[in-house]
A and B are shown apart, each in its own frame.
Chain A
Amino acid sequence: MDTSLDPQMAVRKTPLVANERSMDWVTEKVSNIVESRTPIWWWLAFMVTSPVACFGLFCIAYQISTGVGVWGENHPVGWAWDITNFVFWIGIGHAGTLISAILFLTRQKWRTSINRASEAMTLFAVICAAIFPGIHVGRVWMAWFLAPVPWYEGVWPNFRSPLLWDVFAVSTYFTVSVLFWYTGLVPDLATLRDRTTSRVKKFFFTLFALGWRGSNRNWRHYEMAYLILAGISTPLVLSVHSVVSFDFATSVIPGWHATIFPPYFVAGAIFGGFAMVLTILIPARILYPQLKDLITPQHIDRMCKIILLTGSIVGYAYTMEFFIAWYGGNPYEQWLFLRNRLADPILFTKILHWAPYPAPYWWAYWSMITCNVLAPQVFWFKKNRYNLWVVFIIVNFVNMGMWFERFVIIVTSLANDFMPSMWHLYHPTWVEIGTFVGTFGIFLSLFLLFIRFLPMIAMSEIKIVLPESDPHRVAPGAHAGTEAHSPQL
């Protein structure tokens, strides 16, 4: 069609599903991922990730059986890789809920291609996160002290403590994410149930599809339930990382005691989460080429824009922390920021002479700035957002940078505290490194299992954005209401 003659056509947007695919095509291609034989690359990948996961579990078992002293933590650095990893993983989870809830409420229809995989990623990231607060208490068998029961000498937990808020926030987040994810899965499980020929699969799909049959009397309640779950997940996702940040912000440690922490942490979580979504979906899209029409360059472009936005918010928060340290006039705060984080060996020590010697963790701080603030700026250019190599490299910078951010916040604030005689640089042991690497094994193994056994694209949702799903559609190319209903230009 000659779009230059029709002014209406010229402003139409690119369709969300490329190449005008039909509903049957969507069902076939997405179900095929689950139904076809396990590809060789899957086994090769699983052969790498599952031993790594097992090594992580071994490190955890070793730490629990021997004691928390096998880690490098000691006074004054009582929190180090454990809580860094906890905050890192819980942050990664946030993108899934943002996509499934906030983008749903704001009617961003492009979310339908990526929400299922991102929600799964949320669950697996929260599982990885939940390991660390559990094992860092040392005596894991006493972790039930966190539960609100007066079983220990009749003493209740302190409900005024952010650490207890965190227990409620993270467990609620995980539970609600599971419910939301499962609710979204039910119609797709019914599709797989109706397609499968295997008796065993039929049994399990029938069990978990709950007898779903696409009835409109059910869809009516289902849509309301989905809307409510999105509505309550939106404040929930914003609250979880806020509560995580309260663990730090309500303390008196310089570098932690900042009111900017909740929004700063939430923006950082979304930033890091989208980076992880892209880290996983870009390879998935190459390994399953049929996904290329569902997860289009347009989707990647929009995720890159969110990374650019949230990365810039994070950059603003870093700047504002410094400004407040200077403007607030607290000498401990000023000392911490300059002498423990910022002072690099050349600019601040040799040229500006603001510090007599470099900060012990200057490399971590500047890695964070490079990865989180500078690297995403390449996404200002459309050419870069559409180049998968550039995107993949930059999002991995972001993944690293977000880990460094938590390391910088936690360790640099603790290592050189109020009493110089206590100053102590922190070094991780092989057990801590092994546990952290192991969580990547757990995360990726769970994700590989997910894409083998469950539909990684929300079929029933993506069909809504196809032009043929509109009951009021007149004819192809004629007037259509929304962006999804327009033909490809």
Chain B
Amino acid sequence: MKEYKYIGKKVPRIDGRDKVTGRTRYSTDLYPEGMLWAKVKWSDRVHARIVRLDVEKARSHPGVAAVLTHEDIPGHNGFGIITPNWPVLCSDRVRYRGDALALVAAETEEAAEEALALIEVDYEDLPILDTPEESLASGAFAIHEHGNVMHEMELFKGDAGRALEESELVLEKTYVTQFMEHAYIETEGGVGTYDEDTGVITIWCGDQYAFRDQLQIARSMDWDPLKIRVIGSPTGGAFGGKDEISVQIHLALLAVHTRRPVRLHWTREESIRVGPKRHAMTTTFRIGASRDGTLRAIDVNVVANTGAYDTIAAPVLNLALESSPGPYRYGDAHFKGRAVYTNNAMGGEFRGFGAPQVVFGVEQELDRLAEELGMDPIELRLKNAVELGDISALGHSLRTSAGVKETLEVARDTELWRERDRIKAELDRSHPRRRHGVGVASEWHAVGLGVGIPDFSNIILEFDAAGNITMRTGAIEIGQGNLTAYAQMLAEALEYDIDKIDVIHGDTFESPDSGTVTASRSVLINGNAILDAVAKLKPILLERASRLLEVPAGELAYGNGVVSCAARPERSVSLAQICADAVEAGAPLKVTGAAIMAVADKDFGEGLPHNYYTYITQLALIGVDVETGEVSLLRGISIPEMGRAINIHGVEGQSEGGLVMGQGYTLYEEVVVREGQFLNTGFTTYILPTSLDVPEQETIIVEKPERTGPYGAKGVGEAVTVPITPAIANAIFDAVGVRMDSLPITPEKVLAALKEKR
């Protein structure tokens, strides 16, 4: 493997200093002069017609500058990444407890809260549909005019039904997963301003895609999108929860109406109740195999509880189906999924995007299969693992790097796996009330938005007289460290000092559209745009140097910040000198780069399938307290194959954080909604792992460079949070012989399962 100066190194984050000194200003840290405090009037009911909405008393309350309702929306009263049917402000009906009815802006936070209490609403209750089963029952009340099925997808490869009938062994099981909350430490919020002179609306808001926000705001405001500036960076955590509109349109409405800066910051309670959640899903697997361990056929049926509106739920369901076979070969397959409306929590985008739900099940099925066949769990997976050139279980060609085998081999070679019997026995002896177990699971995770969905990036490089580079990217820093990775890739490609690179990011007026930061795409697509920019830059440098040196461009070469002539070494000019010369001539050096994500060779519709995958294996060492049912995750090992690691600490950090997010999903977290009422909207009752709960961790990076990725890189942000869930479940089975088929795996459930076993 080639040695690089920056690629694959532990380069400190370029935003680190500001973050440790408190200098970083997030959107929710802004308190502009003359600002108004905004609050949202949320629905008091779960599902109801709005019979009367009276804001007059609120409007005339002292200190109140404005109270807005749906009547004040100039454009389309709806938003949604795919289908904009999520109301900005409800007019005739509310469909879940997070629906917005009115906006208040006042001189003080107190006055705004008082005004909220003065808003009068009369409702006429409608039936509450809590589960997909209720929504799908015949005669069920229609949540939307088009019925209660939000989205359906079905895929066929060969004849799974017949293949299952002919299989020597068939396993069938159903798994149930819960709604999960993003729980970023920074809740949704920001500031909106309106400049009457320029007609520009400016929104600062924690975000994942400022440019799409621009369009969604424009659609609702009936405004020229180019007169909407969205600044989305930096963001205090997103994990998929800030790709959709949250406060942006509300801020725009209030700013334009009042002509004053407006600040809106959701409380934790609002954030949990209102924003999109990881879908609750029920998945049934039927897997057929031969006695020698060869997987033959898979049938997957997914029902997703999608809540009241569409947002991005269709692609989530699609990716659930794509992820469900796992990184293995199947000759025949059938996938079916439905996303069903309910009046429950809003199902939407969340790191993992449908994979965590199904992988929880399918990777336990593989372990069950291994047990039936008397095979080692890793050997079974190795036997069926995909490789570059295979046809996937969906039927498309795997044309990009595929290292799941390597990750499994590394897992098999870890001391934890090789010595697991000894390690477990030692721990059992030293902790007599616990039984210990080791579990393994693998996953393939799609990178990119999928075929048919625009997936691109643009980058601008600007050079000043001293040779400093300003890189402009629309990408937003949500914590994953992408800006540092971009600086590394640029510094490497240009053989230049990374300290001379500054990144301007996530501002629709100051940076080009680089697409969204989601789908683990950021390094891959932006890296390629950077390389494209550098590829365009080099001939320009040679041409300029040629004029300055009076040497034909063909005799010149660029390297390490210098253009020189091989034949006459004294004829050289630095990049900085070329830049200075350009500035003096009145035409500073500037270059753009672009990239488009390569797509798969099949098109199943709506983003299916993908062309790039992260492959990953994770191991879990757990202890089960057999008297209390408590499961402790003691050690976690992540073995991701992401092509190439651009920043070692960056990949480890994603791994370590992703694993703990998965731990939370597996053992502690659940958004509890009954009859549409949210029962746990605070951190007292929505349980995240604390520093005392998290495991010892190790990350072993497997590199399998992808030819079409920048320096061979793909992406890693989501895969790292997925297989730890079934790895923990498999470890529980290893420890105490019970299969947990629903999440979260609480002590109560484990104890009940242990008793049933006896």
Asked if A and B are interacting partners, one says: no
